[in-house]
Chain A
């Protein structure tokens, strides 16, 4: 192999580099030249590291850095980047040739359409309508859930399990643990397999296609201006849309945001106002019979999202974020990747939720036989009544504390039984959507944002969701909507 590229910066910088190298006594993984350059660019972590290693010697290095800085009117990181760019240009000019051909193809044209507000917003609405409403809502949460619920579980699995358990096991407490109203199989597994899984599966399938096409970065460009108002920028589109799949996953992805302030705002909004696919699917199924109710729910959620985002961005100190994002070309998604991705995400989700659902069943069973459950429900009842909902919803909300989708699935059961009026349904759905996220997401919030921030957010969300539910119920009453 020939000699590695070894290029020189301008004299002043080269002099500073060698001066710094002379003062670097410690051992570093990166070459001393690279360390010197990072120091000149004032990389905070590297400065910390060098301070620790060199101790008193660092003063000299710091002096060299400030001396060098004085000689330029531009930041050193800019000067250094510029000279690198020049070297690269010299190389690529010789190595790369370009013949200007097909610059304007279909993909370019489509790309422009998605980013221009006039055409971009209708395209976004089409994507939401077909991808989310038709495919996830009607097909996933409607057709598939109906099939699994009524044709499989209610017709075969539940009667069969109940029959066997009740005849083989003599003790009522054990019967109830496995089967009947709150059993592990008849409730836990049924919710997970028949309600949540088809919805999550269809969502991840649709989302994978959108992801692989390269639509998301274009959406980021489109909504950048709105997001700036709530202290975020277009980059936050990715965690936010991913949140519609799984808020836990999305909270982790909020790491890609640049400032701590953005990450906190994004985490709060994900926990509060973005329903995950399991919840979303159930809510779409719940409310799709009442188009007006669905519309109220959507408007309310969008309002809360923008309102809380705006408030937080006003309260939290810090500068507005700048926006820089690469827009990859639109690509035709590959079916194999979409299937593998949907499969791995469903697997991830399933492995994560099934133990939780079973655990929840056990907890509820335990609460039931000890009477603890009734105590908690009785405590919740006044709050539930306050926002205009019947006692039964207290049970659903208690589930909801554990996992929002579990609660939403419970709401689905209530609606099937015809207990709730449209107005009550909307209020219950909205309150539940705002609710404390599932245990997994809360754990992720603690991991990513720290315990203190996470707990504060949790408390805020709990109080806010009831207040918001109350206000919504009151407004619906005043304006006589959904009476």
Chain B
């Protein structure tokens, strides 16, 4: 795969002049040789917010489904090790309908990440868990993140995280990514999970 940084200057210039600077994704740091961690999940659950927190980069974040249409890659430090963090366009199910969903599935098929972080909107937990099941069925190394916990709580939802973790048999971490809450725990759990695997 050709990295954007490796292109000769004249190719870059031509691409910019013609407006076809199509290195995919808004962020494309050089991550060659690093182990991969992919963020997946339905649209509008906060994958890009987490990506920004984990990598310190900025990809566009909005309050509507479908903000992210391309894959972004950045370097992020978890524990003492650097990883390639991958932000993906949202997908509802492993059975794909739209093109962005296909992009994400292809990525999972091709790049075999060390950990697949399934981010869900905690208040829609029931609607979003089917994808978790599909990821588990697929034998992928899944970690579940219950994001936007504050809105869920405001709606009066209480989630027994420990029990959910036991039922699913995978790590489950509650977060409020937009307010930077739960991130330390998340990083610690990812670190432990990835090194144990």
Contact call A447/B137, Cβ cutoff below 8 A: no
**B65 to A, closest residue via Cβ:** A326
Residues on B with C-beta less than 8 A from A100 are: 156
Query: A352–B18 Cα gap in the complex (Å)?
Result: 9
Contact call B65/A92, Cβ cutoff below 8 A: no
Query: A376–B43 Cα gap in the complex (Å)?
Result: 48
Query: A98–B126 Cα gap in the complex (Å)?
Result: 12
Residues on A with C-beta less than 8 A from B99 are: 255-256
B88 CB to nearest A CB, Å: 13
- Among B19, B151, B170, which residue has the most Cβ atoms of chain A within 10 A? B19
Residues on B with C-beta less than 8 A from A30 are: 108-109, 138-140
- Which of A34, A94, A326, A337 is in CB contact (< 8 Å) with B139? A34
Contact call A91/B129, Cβ cutoff below 8 A: yes
Convert A309-335 into 0s and 1s, putting 1 for each residue whose CB lies closer than 8 angstroms to a CB of B. 000000000000000011011010110
Contact call B63/A211, Cβ cutoff below 8 A: yes
Give chain A interface residues in 122-170, CB to chain B under 8 Å: none
B116 CB to nearest A CB, Å: 11
**A32 to B, closest residue via Cβ:** B139
Does B71 interact with chain A (Cβ within 8 Å)? no
Does B133 interact with chain A (Cβ within 8 Å)? yes
Does B41 interact with chain A (Cβ within 8 Å)? no
Residues on B with C-beta less than 8 A from A85 are: 130
Contact call A95/B138, Cβ cutoff below 8 A: no
Does A68 interact with chain B (Cβ within 8 Å)? no
**Stretch of B2-10, B31-39, B74-82, B157-165 contacting A (4+ beta carbons < 8 Å):** B157-165
Give chain A interface residues in 1-18, CB to chain B under 8 Å: 1-5, 7
Give chain A interface residues in 67-86, CB to chain B under 8 Å: 77, 81, 84-85
Does A56 interact with chain B (Cβ within 8 Å)? no
Residues on A with C-beta less than 8 A from B70 are: 252
- Among B22, B66, B166, B169, which residue has the most Cβ atoms of chain A within 10 A? B66
Give chain A interface residues in 332-368, CB to chain B under 8 Å: 333-334, 337, 340-341, 344-345, 348, 351-352, 355-356, 359
- Which of B66, B169, B171 is in CB contact (< 8 Å) with A256? B66
Contact call A212/B63, Cβ cutoff below 8 A: yes
Given A34-B139, A96-B157, is A1 in contact with B169 using a C-beta cutoff of 8 Å? yes
Contact call B21/A84, Cβ cutoff below 8 A: no
- What is the interface size of chain A, counting residues whose CB is below 8 A from a CB of the partner? 76
Contact call B133/A84, Cβ cutoff below 8 A: yes
Contact call A255/B69, Cβ cutoff below 8 A: yes
Give chain B interface residues in 27-80, CB to chain A under 8 Å: 42-44, 58, 60-67, 69-70
Query: A257–B99 Cα gap in the complex (Å)?
Result: 8
Give chain B interface residues in 111-162, CB to chain A under 8 Å: 112, 125-126, 129-130, 133-134, 136-140, 151, 154-160
Does A37 interact with chain B (Cβ within 8 Å)? yes
Contact call A328/B109, Cβ cutoff below 8 A: no
Does A483 interact with chain B (Cβ within 8 Å)? no
A108 CB to nearest B CB, Å: 11
Contact call B133/A7, Cβ cutoff below 8 A: yes
**A332 to B, closest residue via Cβ:** B63
Does A31 interact with chain B (Cβ within 8 Å)? yes
Given A100-B156, A438-B19, is A88 in contact with B163 using a C-beta cutoff of 8 Å? no
Question: A residues near B, CB below 8 A?
Answer: 1-5, 7, 29-31, 33-34, 37-38, 41, 43, 45, 77, 81, 84-85, 87-89, 91-92, 94-102, 208, 211-214, 216-217, 235, 238, 248, 252-253, 255-258, 325-326, 328-329, 331, 333-334, 337, 340-341, 344-345, 348, 351-352, 355-356, 359, 438-441, 443-444, 446-447
Known: A88-B130, A96-B159, A333-B63. 19 other contacts (CB 8 A): A5-B133, A5-B169, A29-B109, A29-B112, A33-B138, A33-B139, A34-B94, A34-B138, A34-B139, A84-B134, A87-B133, A98-B155, A208-B62, A211-B67, A214-B64, A257-B98, A328-B44, A329-B151, A341-B61
Question: B residues near A, CB below 8 A?
Answer: 13, 16-22, 26, 42-44, 58, 60-67, 69-70, 93-100, 102, 105, 108-110, 112, 125-126, 129-130, 133-134, 136-140, 151, 154-160, 163-171, 178
